[in-house]
Every structure is written in structure tokens, then in C-alpha cells.
Amino acid sequence: MARARELVWVAVLLSLPVMMLRANLRSQSDLNFVDHALVRISAPLQSWVVTALESASAGWSRYIGLVHVGEDNVHLRVENAQLKQEMAKLQDQARRGTELRALLTLRRELGTETLAARVIGAEMSSMFRVMRIKIDRGELEVSAGMPVLTPEGVVGRIHRVSGPYADVLLATDPLSTIYVSIKRTGSLGVLRGIPGDSRYRMRIEKLSRKDEIKEGDDVETSDRGGFPAGRAIGKIVHITRGDSGLYQEAEVEPAIDLSRLHEVLVVLTPQSPPDKPTAAKGAR
């Protein structure tokens, strides 16, 4: 009897979900009061658990996950170094491109036969001043005495050619002599390099005392001595006038940075034969 009652109970109990399921499969019914109450209680609990899991996950990411960050850091450092190298290379190429374009413009301006050359070496003084530069043009292309220019101004002359290379005597070298004129006054003089410290300085000699030159005047090549006329050399930064004599001297700062030369232009057909500037007649 008890067993039968038990079975009836079981049947009744199991019929409840059967009916509930049949009704719910056809159309999901709304939540009743008990459902609502349970959901209301459960929602904050679920929210707390999710928050706790999120905190745990964030902790994992921040601390334990830092193992991977270390590896990533190493990779990124290597990648950064490679990118820096590539960027420096591209910047160098861009600079060369700009320089070559300027050289090309200069070449057209000069209207004479010229040859572009790359600076491949430099001799430096003990004061780290560049004394001479070496270019990648040799015996078959250039010869001693040929003017060397950049778009910004005069570099110097070919001093010596040996094999496939040539040495350029800079305008700032004491052995260098270049005929120059003062742009404002048209005064003529002879430019020589000043030996000494690390500064790049030149001096104009044989300037007539009557010429009213002043500091800041632009100095350019004259039409004598093989250089194309009117190429920038520098600016007068100091003038020395003695108490007596016919001449005055002016110290000139070069227009170009001679320590940072990369591309230069060699003038193959000088405008006029390179005179010996030691002759006083060349002064004016």
C-alpha cells in the first residue's frame, strides 16, 4: 500500500514538469512570482561572482601575464632597433636625393661641363677640423686645380689625383688661394685659409684699403682663377686695417659646413685658367 502511494506521489510529481514543459515549449511563458524572486536574488550574486572573476582575470593578466610582456619587450626592442636603422638609412637616402637634386640644379646653372662626386673620406686635424676630403673621381675624370663646389658654395680645388680617387684642398686650407669679390662693393681680393684651431676661417688679402667693406658682407668667387663667378664663399666676420699700408684684410666664415660634405660637383672646364694668386696684380 505504502509502495503504491509512493508511486502515485512520484507520478504526480513527474507530471508537473511534464505539463510545465509542454506549456513552455510551445510559448515561453512569463516569469511568475517565485521566478521573479529567485532571479532578483540571483542577479546580484551572479554579478558579484563575475566581478570576482574579472578581478582574478585582471590580476592574472597584470602579474602572471607579464612573463609574456617581457618576451614582447625584447622583440619590440629588436624591432625598434631595426626600424631605427631603416629610418636612418631612408633619411640618408632622402638627404642624398636632396643633395643630388641641388647638384643637378647647380650643374644646369653653371652651364659648363661638370662631374658629380661623392665624398668618401676626410683628413682631420688634431682639433677634429677637416683639412682635406677625398672624392671618388680619379685620374681619368678629374685633374689637379679643378674647382669643387656644392650648391651652397665653394668647397675648394682638386689638389692631387691618385688612381681612382682625388684629394680636394679645402678653401679653408692655408695652401688654398681663390680669387674672390665682395658682392656689395665688387672689391676683389685673394682668399686663403687660416691655419690653427678647429674653426673654419679664411682671410681675404690684398683688399684695397679704399674699399668700404664691412662685417656681414657676402663674399663670392670672382671671374678669375678658374671658378665660376658668383659662387658663394662666405661672409666677412672681421676686418683688420693697419695704421698704414695699401691693403686691409677681412676674415671670412665659410658659407658651407665643410665638416659635413657628402656630394660635390667638380667643374671640369674652368671658366678661366687658374692663375697664380700670389701675383699682386690679381688683387684688383
Partner 1 sequence: MAFGRALGFILAVYALLIVSSAMRSFWAVPMPDIPLLVVLYLGLSGRGALSSHIGIALAIGYLADLLGGAPKGLHSLSLGLIMLAARPLSSRLLVQRRWQEIVITIFGATVHGLVVCALAVEPGTTTSFSPSVWELTRTLPMQVFLTALAAPLVYPLLQSIDHRWWPVPRGLRS
Q: Which residues bind partner 1 (CB under 8 A)?
A: 6, 9-10, 13-14, 16-26, 28-29, 35, 38-39, 42, 45-46, 49-50, 53-54, 57
Which of 202, 200, 210 lies closest to 179, judged by CA?
A: 202
Nearer to partner 1 by Cβ, of 16 and 67: the residue is 16
Shortest Å, Cβ 9 to partner 1: 4
What is the C-alpha separation between 228 and 270, in angstroms, rounded?
Answer: 7
Nearer to partner 1 by Cβ, of 57 and 105: the residue is 57
Q: Which three cell numbers stand for residue 271?
A: 671658366
Shortest Å, Cβ 89 to partner 1: 47
Nearer to partner 1 by Cβ, of 57 and 269: the residue is 57
Nearer to partner 1 by Cβ, of 22 and 281: the residue is 22
Residue indicated by cell numbers 666676420? 237
Shortest Å, Cβ 12 to partner 1: 9
Shortest Å, Cβ 62 to partner 1: 17
Radius of gyration in angstroms for the set of CA atoms belonging to the chain, rounded to a whole number: 43
Q: Kindly state the helix (H) or strand (E) to which residue 240 belongs, with its residue range.
A: strand 232-241
Q: Cα separations (Å) of 135 from 114, 120, 121, 161, 166?
A: 14, 5, 7, 10, 5
Q: Cα separations (Å) of 217 from 131, 187, 214?
A: 25, 11, 6
Shortest Å, Cβ 33 to partner 1: 13
What is the C-alpha separation between 89 and 108, in angstroms, rounded?
Answer: 28
